[in-house]
A = this chain, B = another copy of it.
Amino acid sequence: MNTTGRYNEPPSTVNLGTDIDDFPEFEPFRDDAEDSEEDGEPEPRGPGELSVQAVDMCRHINMPKHRTQAYVTDNLVVRRGQEFVLHVTFSRSITPRDRFRLEFLIGSNPAIQKRTLEWVTFGTRDRGRWSGRILDSRGPRVVLGVTPRADSIIGRFRMYITLIYKWGLKRTRRNPDTDCYLLFNCWSVEDAVYYPDEPGRQEYVLNDNGVIYMGSRENLLSRDWVYGQFERGVLDACIYMLDACRMPITTRGNAIHIVRKGSAVINSQDENGVLVGNWSENFSGGTAPTLWTGSVNIMLQYANTGTPVRYGQCWVFAGVFNTFLRCLGIPARVISNFNSAHDNNGNLKIELIFKSDGSADMRNTHDSIWNYHCWNEVFMRRPDLPPRLSGWQVVDATPQETSDGLYRCGPASVVAIKEGLVGHAYDGPFIFAEVNSNVIYVTRDKYGNDIYTYVDKRLVGTGLFTKRILVDKADDITLTYKYPEGSVDEEKAMQTAESFGLARDQPAAADPAITVTLSVDQMELGMDVELKVELHNRGDAALTVKALLTCAVVFYTGVVSNRFKSEALEVTVAPDKKETVLVKIEAEEYLKHMGFQRFLAFTLVGSGDSGGLKAVKVVYLRAPDLQLKVSGVQAVGQDMFVNVSFTNTFKFPLYNVTVALEGPRVMSNRQRFYNILQPQASFNWKESFVPETMGKRTLVAVMSSANLCEIWGKIEFVVEDKLHVEEASD
């Protein structure tokens, strides 16, 4: 677009590397331009005129006060809505007649009206949005206090000190050392992302390590994830992401816009974002989603190459998004929703279609239930919505469906989801369906006609979990999303959602006289699995059930990878009685079909008179953990060691074994490869490292092989202060 004939250029969308066109160093006032030299730089007139000798951004004073000392950067990092100090050394003591101001610039063509240029003045003529005050002034050294507004644009600012003389302006020269990063501030009541208590801020903004829940509700597995938001380069990578998706600088102070844009740029759809999704079993040309230890490598690779990183699945999208959010100072956490509905056509029902012989009709089934799905929550005020909808908001970076034209989702108020208020921005209907859809079992006859045979209203959104604040335990937050199943309030929320246009078909499916329950006790990978089929005849006549039981390995998205067993059942159940059938699946039967997957799904579908009988049971099979041990003197500057070990307790060898290890503020990602690990064989992998800062630290390891993955391990340890160790050694 050529815009010479328009004032309104396309907005500035680049923050990093935009210092080329800053204001001139010398800017004579036009009124008395005749007085000044036509060429050359006007010098300050006379020895008494003020000039700037040195500027100190006071990182060591400001960053602890702004809780930003963990960021590994060379520049000042501060939070908006809170004062920070600068030391300026002038050529002489300043007097009330001296006039100067600070100029903070962001993006190209910064301007006062666009809030991309902020002036800070230090006198009675204070007109800037950011306030300034002189805190101390002894001789030529002056201590200045600057308070950016709590709704300022966030990002990397350039700073100039501008002296105002009678003849014009003189600025300090461009100096990248005086650039500073401005972040969201959950400690400031005025900031839209204010979080009301300190433990929450410690967890949701400052914790650079976390847990993502997987598996199933009954068999909750925790996978550690290194957020690593303070590691060198990560803050710049976050700003690069906003630049890459061309987010206008002027909108970067608005938390709603930042998180919505973030949910779009984490996935590579639409704007060449960070991560390429891959839900196949072929991860060649990239890293398997199961092998990542955390976000840092992904974000640095993206920022360095500018091309999407291969590959992600939902927890990777959620993990990287969480790093992005915490790094910018927005309180954020990762949520896992078990049996998450992916409703393809917005009718609040998941239609699973079967052929008349009881086998699944894969071709015509478009909806799906993911065994689990991960998304993020951010904590913020929503000035665009009724006040009670502020607080936690759902955002989802996994590319599932487009929202107003792009792959992105949210922010949607969690309270609004619970109340069924799905008309508010953004994407309420899709998220409401993820936790509230009914599952409809449909039998399609040979002419293509559909018969609804069974409705399960309780399967979807069976539980939502997140890591507890500062504790390594799961918090069940299901009741923040849904009223209890069957309650009056739940029905009211469903009706509210319907009033916003969410169509809830109420298919008429007869209440079956016979019901079936599937259960499994043993869930260890490599062991035989015994499925218990319990049939309950609630009628007053004996019934003979004919059904087809199908056993399959499935993806975590619920999609069948391999169907390995099919068994016809015929059982007669006396009136008002239960009958139990045990079906044994031997380890050999399923192991050769597992591949990358860890889920088994059992589907029972009745036929003939028992056509209404439907049941699904999905089981996650556990495996042993990696073992981690640390040794050496656990203190800053000392050599330390970590040992990662694993013994193959299975009866089969593991091929192409990759192990990865990482610890935020301890060690960047390292990997080791083993061609084969025979049954009963072990590996012991020792790495050394030198801790640079004190405090509680975590190391996380993952293992992935051609025929087994999702093997995890971690260790926590405390690094002592350097000084403290020397005292102890006396």
A435 to B400 CA separation, bound complex (whole angstroms) = 39
Proximity string of chain A (380-408) to chain B, C-beta cutoff 8 Å, 1 when within and 0 when not: 00011000000000000001111011100
In the assembled complex, the CB of A348 is this many whole angstroms from the nearest CB of chain B, namely: 14
A376 at the interface (CB under 8 A from B): no
The answer to whether B402 and A248 touch across the interface, beta carbons within 8 angstroms, is yes
Partner of A279, one of B2, B11, B29, B446: B2
Q: Which residue of B lies closest to A364 (CB)?
A: B111
Q: Which of A53-61, A351-359, A536-544 contacts B (4 or more CB under 8 A)?
A: A351-359
Give chain B residues whose Cβ lies under 8 Å from the Cβ of A404. 260, 404-405
Complex partner residue of A368 from B7, B276, B342, B384, CB under 8 angstroms: B7
Q: Once bound together, how far apart are the Cα atoms of A180 and B10, in whole Å?
A: 41
A555 within 8 A of B: yes
Task: Say if the beta carbon of A173 comes within 8 Å of chain B.
Answer: no
Q: Does A631 contact B (CB under 8 A)?
A: no
A356 proximity list for chain B (CB < 8 A): 31
Given the known A-B contacts A276-B1, A277-B1, A404-B404, are A448 and B30 also in contact in the complex, defined by CB atoms under 8 Å? no
Is the beta-carbon distance between A6 and B114 smaller than 8 angstroms? no
- Are the C-beta atoms of B282 and A2 separated by less than 8 Å? yes
A111 touches B366 (CB 8 A): yes
**Contact at A264–B405, with CB atoms within 8 Å?**
yes
Give 11 CB contacts A-B under 8 Å: A1-B276, A2-B311, A3-B279, A4-B280, A6-B279, A6-B555, A7-B368, A31-B356, A113-B364, A164-B447, A404-B405
- Please, what's the 1-or-0 string for A245-289, where 1 marks a CB less than 8 Å from any CB in chain B? 000101000000000110010001100000011111110000000
- Shortest distance in angstroms between A261's beta carbon and chain B's nearest beta carbon? 7
Does A729 lie at the interface of the complex (its beta carbon under 8 Å from any beta carbon of B)? no
Which residues of B are found within 8 Å of A7, using beta-carbon distances? 342, 344, 365-368, 557-559
Asked if A345 is at the interface of the complex by the 8 Å CB criterion, the answer is yes
Minimum-distance CB pairs A-B, first 6: A5-B279, A5-B555, A4-B280, A7-B368, A2-B278, A1-B277
Chain A 541-562 interface 0/1 with B at a Cβ cutoff of 8 Å (1 = within) = 0000000000000011111010
A8 interface residue, CB < 8 Å from B? yes
The A461-511 residues at the B interface (CB cut-off 8 A) are: 501
Q: Which of chain A's residues 1-30 have a Cβ closer than 8 Å to chain B?
A: 1-8, 10-11, 29-30
- Complex-state Cα separation, A416 to B502, whole angstroms: 24
Give CA–CA (A555, B8) in the complex, Å. Answer: 13
> Measured between alpha carbons, how far is A682 from B125 in the docked complex, in Å?
66
Could you tell me if B5 and A559 are in contact, using CB atoms closer than 8 angstroms?
A: yes
The count of chain A contact residues (Cβ–Cβ below 8 Å) is: 69
Give the distance in Å from the alpha carbon of A558 to the alpha carbon of B8 in the complex: 11
CB atoms of B8 and A368 under 8 A apart? yes
| Contact (A1, B406) CB under 8 Å given A113-B364, A449-B127, A559-B6 | no
Min C-beta distance of A603 to chain B, whole Å? 15
Provide the residues of chain B in CB contact with A345, threshold 8 Å. Answer: 113-114, 250
Residue contact A2 to B557, C-beta cutoff 8 Å:
no
Q: Which of A406-439 contact B (CB under 8 A)?
A: 406
A119 interface residue per 8 A CB criterion: yes
Known: A7-B558, A8-B367. 8 other contacts (CB 8 A): A1-B399, A3-B279, A5-B280, A5-B281, A11-B402, A30-B446, A112-B364, A404-B405
> Which of chain B's residues have a CB closer than 8 A to the CB of A351?
113
Chain B residues lying within 8 Å of A281, measured Cβ to Cβ, are 4-5
Contact of A6 among B6, B29, B368 (CB under 8 A): B368
Residue in chain B with minimal CB distance to A500 = B384
Check A344–B113 contact: CB distance below 8 A.
Answer: yes
From residue A422, how far is it (CB to closest CB) to chain B in Å? 12
Docked Cα-Cα span, A269 to B271, in Å, equals 13
> Which one, B5, B30, B112, contacts A557 given CB within 8 A?
B5
Expressed in whole angstroms, the Cα–Cα distance for A5 and B277 within the complex equals 11
Q: Which of A5, A10, A125 has its CB near the most chain B CB atoms (within 10 A)?
A: A5
Residues from 125 to 177 in A contacting B, C-beta threshold 8 Å: 125, 127, 164
Contact present for A8 and B366 (CB under 8 Å): yes
Pick from B1, B366, B449: contact of A269, CB below 8 A.
Answer: B1
How far does the Cβ of A727 sit from chain B's closest Cβ, in whole Å?
Answer: 56
Residue numbers in B under 8 Å from A556 (CB-CB)? 5
Per the bound structure, the CA–CA distance linking A264 and B345 in Å amounts to: 24
Residues of B within 8 A of A250 (CB): 345
Tell me the smallest distance from the CB of A399 to a CB of chain B, in Å. 6
Cα–Cα, bound, A399→B164 (Å)? 40
- Are A114's CB and B279's CB within 8 A? no
Task: Output the nearest chain B residue to A447 by Cβ-Cβ distance.
Answer: B164
Which residues in B have their C-beta under 8 angstroms from that of A2? 277-280, 282, 311
Shortest A290–chain B CB gap in Å is 12
A274 → B minimal CB distance (Å):
13
Give chain B nearest CB distance to A405 CB in angstroms. Answer: 6
Pairwise interchain contact A405-B402, C-beta atoms closer than 8 A: no
Q: How far is the CA of A501 from the CA of B382 in the complex (A)?
A: 13
Chain B residues within an 8 Å CB radius of A446: 29-31
Mark each residue of chain A from 201 to 243: 1 if its CB lies under 8 Å from any CB of chain B, else 0.
0000000000000000000000000000000000000000000
Cα distance, A299 to B559, chains bound together (Å): 42
A383 touches B342 (CB 8 A): no
Q: What separation, in Å, do the CA atoms of A342 and B5 have in the docked complex?
A: 13
Contact B400 A8 (CB under 8 A): yes
Given A2-B279, A111-B364: A405 touches B8 (CB 8 Å cut-off):
no
| CB of A440, distance to nearest CB on chain B (Å) | 11
Instruction: Give the Cβ gap from A429 to chain B, nearest Cβ, in Å.
Output: 12
Q: CA separation between A557 and B1, bound complex, in Å?
A: 15
Q: Residue among A2, A260, A357 with the most chain B CB within 10 A?
A: A2
